[in-house]
Chain A
Amino acid sequence: MEVEDLESQQVDKMETITKVPTAPKSAEDPRYKLIAENIVASYNGIQAVKGVNMKFRERAVTALIGPSGCGKTTFLRCLNRMHELSKNAQVTGKVLLDGQDLYSNKEDAIIHRRKIGMVFQKPNPFPTMSIYDNVAAGLKLNGVKDRKIVDQIVQGCLEMASLWNEVKNDLKKPGMSLSGGQQQRLCIARALAIQPEVLLMDEPASALDPIATQKIEEMINELKKEYTIIIVTHNMQQAVRVSDYTGFMYLGDLVEFGETKQIFENPRNEITAKYVQGQFG
């Protein structure tokens, strides 16, 4: 059903694992929150992402997997115009959020980034700010002045990040006083506070121990009821556990994209099969 058009795209791709940009049927298809069209990204003139097309469903978790250096993180960073901040980085292509191209206006990156929250590989709370201020940082920046609203959002986001119960009495303590796993959930709360519509996660649990990882995964399962989530992971079990759809990237190309179950149980592409069976990585 829903996956059909994805698959038909993929069949084209499987013939030649090259960039044959397949035009999406309808850019305004309401079922897709975010659509990436022919994204090409490079560092220092070397292409890291070679023309990727991908559609992300609303209220679903899409995982991006692939061996290191396959361009999955770079692609993720193109989705909220973060890639272009790196030195000597270029991006071309379109990213449509609810049909509106994020790359159409050079100036509006600031507004767009706010609509697409991001959680990074390593927890990066602002070290000089308290727990409360870390979550409220984006609110202050974007002109939310009403103290009551700020309090509500901070509490709500900490709850969604399942951190509230652990820190509700220590909101004034520095964010750095938390454990690694707690710091990462604090960063998730911080990203949620600006009320994004999409949440990007770049290997959010790679620096964490198994228990902290489990907490994050449980939280992702909760969050997907409300958010469109895209997660990059090198951990295939994690992809199976948290995602509804999975895209496999290799050497800058999107090799295969489909339902997670299908990708892992019945991959159609030889390289995908080898990768999910752990034959390389």
Chain B
Amino acid sequence: METVKLKGGSPLFDKIFKIAAAIAATYILALITLIVFQLITGSYQIWTQEGISFLTGSDWNAVEGSESYGAAPYIVGTFVTAGLAMLIGVPISIGIAMFLSELAPKFLRSILSFVIELLAAVPSIIYGLWGMFIFRDYIRDWIEIPLNNVFGNNVWFFSGTPFGLDIFTASVVLAIMIIPTIASISREIMIAVPNSQREAAYMLGATKWEVFKMAVIPYSKSGLVGASILGLGRAVGETMAVTMLIGNATGPNAFPSSLFSPGQTMSSIIANEFAEASQGSLHMAALIGVGLILFIVAIAINIVAQLLVSRVLKAHQGAVLA
């Protein structure tokens, strides 16, 4: 900025301002580094004590003298609930996104986008409360018990005693919670598909669905995968609703034995047991260790998702196709 210097006036303010802004931005990097560092030091004790069996073991015993910790059931529980939530949530979200981007008339479009955003704005704890006192009864009486009656004896994942607070309920509520995320990003990605693609398909004599299948889906596939993975990241890290609905089993019992058995996820075991763990104890180190695993899983999922989504949306902005 030559002119600035020529006009006099101290460039010092400029410098200070730039440095302040740079510090604020760097704070973000510092935080992430610190979080990693603290989680590692905070859980150091459990890694030296249990070693690899903290990842593979399933015992969870906090009684002093016979302490033993293995996080495997919670890791599995996290993936099972998040996976189920994806299985339910992704198709519905893509359907909603398709409706919003391809089918809905204008007035419905804005109303529905608003509803979807409200769904995203409802705090997790309220989903938990609703799941615990309202949804639980419905899902138990209308879905779980009938499924159990029909398939319970033959298909293992429908066996057990439906109780309403179990892996299935937690997964369904989790699915409801990730739908807004996946649906709204997918909608953006579908809108980013150039109209010329749709027109090409229409010109060949395609129906709406065929246009979608032929022009929209292939063009936006990687972005839709990214949106879904972003939803997976949310599902993996989600705490309160799951904690309130999953039934909270510990130890080997927490391995999912059927959809209708109580389980536990990484985040729910931390939320549930934190109050019982005394500071500096091995129990606390174990919970922080679970936090570290959760962190690594969530970050890995997220980085993949960010790369996929941003690449697609960027390609749209530059009107270049990768």
In-complex A–B contact (CB below 8 Å): yes
- A residues apposed to B, CB below 8 Å: 80, 82, 85, 87-88, 110-111, 113-114, 117-118, 120, 122, 124-129, 137-138, 141-142, 176, 187, 190-191, 194
B218 within 8 A of A: yes
Contact of B204 among A85, A120, A194 (CB under 8 A): A194
Please tell me if the beta carbons of A113 and B200 are within 8 angstroms of each other in the complex.
Answer: no
A226 → chain B closest CB, angstroms:
19
Residues of A within 8 Å of B197, CB to CB, are 124, 126-127
User: Are B215 and A126 interface neighbours, CB within 8 A?
Assistant: yes
Q: Nearest residue in A to B198 (C-beta to C-beta)?
A: A85
Residues of B within 8 A of A120 (CB): 196, 199-200
Beyond A87-B106, A126-B197, whether A117 also contacts B218 by CB under 8 A is no
Q: B residues within 8 Å of A by Cβ?
A: 106, 194, 196-207, 210, 214-215, 218-219, 221, 321
B321 partner residues in chain A, CB cutoff 8 A: 127, 176
Chain B residues, Cβ within 8 Å of A137: 201, 204, 214
Q: In the bound complex, how far is the Cα of B219 from the Cα of A191, in angstroms?
A: 20
Closest 9 CB pairs of A and B: A138-B204, A114-B205, A124-B196, A128-B218, A118-B203, A124-B200, A127-B321, A110-B205, A113-B205
- For A190, give its contact among B200, B215, B219 (CB under 8 Å): B200
Q: Name the prevailing secondary structure of the B interface residues.
A: helix
Selected contact of B206 from candidates A87, A88, A110, CB within 8 Å:
A110
Most chain A CB within 10 A, of B204, B206, B210, is at: B204
Given contacts A138-B204, A141-B210, 7 further A-B contacts (CB under 8 A): A85-B199, A113-B202, A124-B199, A126-B218, A126-B219, A127-B218, A194-B204
Docked complex Cα distance between A276 and B196 (Å):
30
Q: What B residues does A85 contact at CB under 8 A?
A: 198-199, 202
Can you give 21 contacting A-B residue pairs, CB < 8 Å?
A: A82-B203, A88-B106, A110-B205, A110-B206, A113-B204, A114-B204, A120-B196, A120-B199, A124-B196, A126-B197, A126-B215, A126-B218, A126-B219, A127-B219, A128-B219, A128-B221, A137-B214, A141-B206, A190-B204, A191-B203, A194-B205
Q: Which residue of A lies closest to B194 (CB)?
A: A124
Chain B's closest residue to A134 (CB) is B200
Contact B199 A141 (CB under 8 A): no
CA distance A188 to B321 in the complex (A): 20
Provided the pairs A120-B200, A124-B194 are in contact, do residues A110 and B219 lie with their beta carbons within 8 angstroms?
no
CA distance A13 to B43 in the complex (A): 87
> Could you say which residues of chain A place their CB within 8 Å of the CB of B106?
87-88
Q: How far is the CA of A87 from the CA of B110 in the complex (A)?
A: 14
Quote the shortest CB–CB distance from B190 to chain A (angstroms).
Answer: 15
Q: State the CA gap A128–B217 with chains docked (Å).
A: 10
Distance, CA A240 to CA B63, complexed state (A): 93
